Chains A and B, each alone.
Chain A
Amino acid sequence: QSVLTQPPSVSAAPGQKVTISCSGSSSNIGNNYVSWYQQLPGTAPKLLIYDNNKRPSGIPDRFSGSKSGTSATLGITGLRTGDEADYYCGTWDNILSAWVFGGGTKLTVL
């Protein structure tokens, strides 16, 4: 059972938009910064969003992040088959004094 809760899977058609939620508490998301990671099959994770809504250089603006209270959301527009991957949210937890990841969400582009 992960400290951060994500839906196990989401799906959408090519060209459409999808959102992935990440729910936590005041000890983690509520008082810290959220980051999002994309893991393509058989590869290492890749940073998509940090500081709730900032994109590292090279990450297209099709990817966006937001945070409200104790929840965060990753948005992906203009879906492509190449976006099929597992997506993870993460943040620091002040009570655990540890980094926590969500359980991951598998994105299928139909």
Chain B
Amino acid sequence: EVQVLESGGGLVQPGGSLRLSCAASGFSFSSYAMSWVRQAPGKGLEWVSGISGSGGSTYFADSVKGRFTISRDNSKNTLYLQMNSLRAEDTAVYYCAKDVLEIRVTPFAFDIWGQGTLVTVSS
């Protein structure tokens, strides 16, 4: 079964850091671009960051540029999101999402989503 599973969420103080992980299984992980998408409580979806299958190309939303880093370890079938200088407005459920097409550098569409992990930034 094709699936992704996020972990690493939790409560963190403003200005703090957190690293999210996304474990993938059931597909050739290195062949697919991956993204992080978040959803603040009661709000819509917001794309956060994306990375190509090789890891050589990365993209970020302006709201997180310079604070968040995306990476992947294809030997471990795992995607990461390193979040630094966290703010209250970063509070959200963070989803890991797989691209629908192989060998894409930029996101095309997201066909597999995890259940999400909640990040709460509060003192």
Contacts and interface: CB of A to CB of B under 8 A. Distances in A.
The dominant DSSP class at the B interface is strand
Interface in A4-55: 33, 35, 37, 39, 44-47, 50-51
B106 A92 contact: yes
A109 B26 CA distance: 36
Interface residues of B, number: 23
Contacts of A51: 108-109
A99 B95 contact: no
Interface residues of A, number: 25
Given A98-B59, A99-B50, A47 B111 contact: yes
Interface stretch (B8-16, B17-25, B81-89, B113-121): B113-121
Interface of A: 2, 33, 35, 37, 39, 44-47, 50-51, 56, 86, 88, 90, 92, 96-104
21 contacts: A2-B44, A33-B108, A35-B108, A35-B109, A44-B114, A44-B116, A45-B45, A45-B95, A45-B110, A47-B110, A56-B111, A88-B44, A90-B110, A98-B47, A99-B47, A99-B106, A101-B37, A101-B44, A101-B45, A101-B47, A104-B45
